[in-house]
Structure 1
Amino acid sequence: MSGHSVDSATRRRLADATLAVVIGALVVTVAAFDADTAAVDYTLVALASAALAFYQTAPRAVLAVATASGAAYVLHAHPGPIAGLPVLAAMHTAARAGHRGWAAAAGGLFLAAYLATGPTTQQVVERTALLAGWFLCAVVTGLADRNWQAYLRQTEQRALEAERTREEAALRRAGEERLRIARELHDSLTHSISIVKLQAGVAVHLARKRGEEVPPALLAIQEAGGEAMRELRATLEILRTDEPTGTPALLVERARAAGLAVDLTVTGEEHPLPATLDRAVYRIVQEALTNAARHAGQAKVDVQLRYGKEELTVCVDDDGSAEPDRAPMPGIGLTGMRERVTALGGTLHTGPRAEGGFSVRAELPLGEAG
C-alpha cells in the first residue's frame, strides 16, 4: 500500500471517530440536563454513538447496534427527539451504502419504540412525526449521496476512457510517423551510403589489383560506409518496430552470441510489468548493450534488474575504456533513454565509473507512472 493510500485511510478513520464523538457528546449533553438519566442510559448512548466510528466498514452492523441501543434508551429514559441522532446518522450511512430497506426498517423500529413513550399522546405524536421527517431526510440524502458518488465514478471513468482514446490515437500517429521516416531514410540514405561503400570497395579492389598501396583514407571510407549501413539498418528496424520483440534475457543472449561478454542478474520478486514500463526496460537494456558493443571494446558487461516494492532498478555496467574524467557526449541513444525514463517518472544516471568503464542506471517506479 502506498503512503498516499495509508494517509487517506487514516484521515477517513479520524473523520469517522470524530463523527461518533460529536454525536455522542451532543446526546450525552442533552441527557445530562435530565435528572432522571441513569448510568445505563449513558452507556446506551455511548454504545449507539461509538458504533458510528465503524459505519464505512460495516454499515448494517452499525445500523443494528445504533437502533437497538437507541430504542432501549428511549424506552428506559423517555428522552427528547435529540436521542435519535445516532440512529439518524446510521440510517443515512446505510442508505448511502445501498441498504435503504434496512435503513427504513431500523427507522420504523426506532419510531415504534419512541411512540410508546412520553407523558402525553400529543407530545409523543409531535416528536415522532418530527423524528419521522428527520429519518426520511436521512434516507433520501443517503440515496442522493450514493447516486452522486456513482455519477462521479462514471464521469471519472469516461474521462479515463477519453484519455486512453487520445493516447491510443497519439500512439497510432506516432507509429505512422515512424514508418514514414523509415521509408524516407530507406529511400534516400540507404541508396547514397550503398553507392559510397560500393565505390570505395571498387577503388580498394583496383588498387590492390594493380599492386598499389591502398590509401588509409580510402580504407577508412570503406569501413565507415559499412558501419553507417549497419547503424542505418538497425535504426530502420527500431523505427518499424512498435513493441519490443523479446525480453532483457533475450537481448543478453543475442549479445553473447555476437561475442559480447554479458551477465544478467535478477534480484527481488520478479513479476509482470505494465506495457509501457516493460517496453522502457527492454529499450534501456537494448541501448546500453548496443553502446557497450560499439564503444567498450572487449569489455565485460553486467546487467542487473532489481525489483523493489515501489521501483525497478535497471543497471548496465561495463569495464570498458571510458575514463572517469572524460564525460561522453550524449548521443541520440542516451537522450532517447533519458526521455523514456523521465516520461515514466523515473530517474536516469549515466556516465563513466570511478573504477573505469561506463554505467547506466535507471530507477523506474512500479506504480501508475507517466
Structure 2
Amino acid sequence: MRAKPRWIDPLLPLFLAVLQVMATMGAQWNQPDRVPVDLLGNALLVAGPLALTVRRRHPALTLAVTLLTTAAFIGRGHAYGPIFFSPIIALYSAVVLGHRRAAWVASAMAYVFFLVYTTWLAPVPSPGLWHTVAIAAVMGVVLASGEFVRARRDRLAEHERVEQEEARRQASEERLTMAQELHDVLAHNISLIHVQASTALHLIDDHPEQARTALTTIKHASKDVLTEMRSVLNVLRNGAPRSPTAGLGRLDELVERSGLPVTRRITGRIRALPPGVDRAGYRIVQEALTNATRHAPGSTVTLLLEYGPRELLIQVTDSGGGPPGESLGGGNGIPGMRERATALGGALTAGHHGQGFRVEARLPIPEETE
C-alpha cells in the first residue's frame, strides 16, 4: 500500500533537527560525565533528522543512516536522550511501509551495540539490568506499534480490494443480465416480425385486411424492440437507473402481439411479486410464445399462472396443430429460460406434451400473508 505524502513530512525533519540540538544541550547539564557536543556532534544530531526526508521512498536506507549516526554520537561519548528520536521514527516507518525484515534485523543489531557499549565501552559503569531491559522494551513497543498499524492498513487495503472486485463482479453480472434481456427482446420481436411479415406477404393479394393487421403487429413489435434496446443501451452508456421494462402486468399486450390464439387462466390470489421474479416470469412466457410462433404457427396456446403460497407456477402449452414454422437458428431459448428460473431458486422443464409442447416454470415467491 503506497503511502501518500502529507504536509507534515517536510516539516518533521526540520522540527526534529532543532529539537535534538536544543534538547541535547539540556541533557548535557544532567549528564556532566558525558562529552560536550562539538561541531561534529551537532552534525550527527542534524544528520539523522535529515535522513527522515526520504523515509517513505527509502525506509531501509533511512533506518540505516539514523542508527549509524546515533551509534556514532553515543560512541563519541555524548549525552543520551534526544538523539534516539530519529531512529525510533525511522524504525516505526520501516515496519509500517513493509520493510519488516530490515527493521527487525536493524533492531537486533542496535540492541547488541547498546548492550556491548554500556557493558564494556562506556566511560562510566553500566546502569544495570533495568537499563538493558528498558532498551529492549522501547524497541519492542516501537516494533509492535508499527506491526499493528501495518496490519491494519493491509486489512483496509484488502477490504477495499475485495469491495472493488465485488463491484466489478456485480457490474459484470448486470451486463450479462442485460445481454440476456436484449437477447430475449430481440428474439421475440424479430421472430414475431418475421412470422407476421410472411403472413402479410401471403395474404396481401387475397385478404388485404388481414395483411393490414399483420403489418400493424409488425409496426408495434418494431417500436417495442427499439424502445427496450434504447433502455438497455442507455444503462450501458450512462449507468443510469432503469425501472423494469417487462413484467407480468404486461402479459395482455404480449399475448396480443404474439398473433396466436391464447387462452389465459390465472388461479390463486394475485399479489405483487419481487422484481426479479416478475421480470423472469414475463421473459419465460415471452420466450415460450416465441417458440410457439416459430415452430407451431397456427396452434392454440394455453397460458396458466398459478399463485401458490410460496411458488408461482407458469405453464405455456401449445397444441402443435400447425405445420412446423421456419427456424431462425438454433438459439438458446430453453437454456436461457432454465437459467433464469435456476438463478431465482426455481426450476423449469420443457418438452413435448401430447402433439404440442409445454414449458413449465416454478418460481419461488414470498409466502402469502393475510
| TM-score, length-scaled by structure 2 | 0.49
Decide which structure has the larger Cα Rg and report it: 2
Output the TM-score relative to the length of structure 1. 0.49
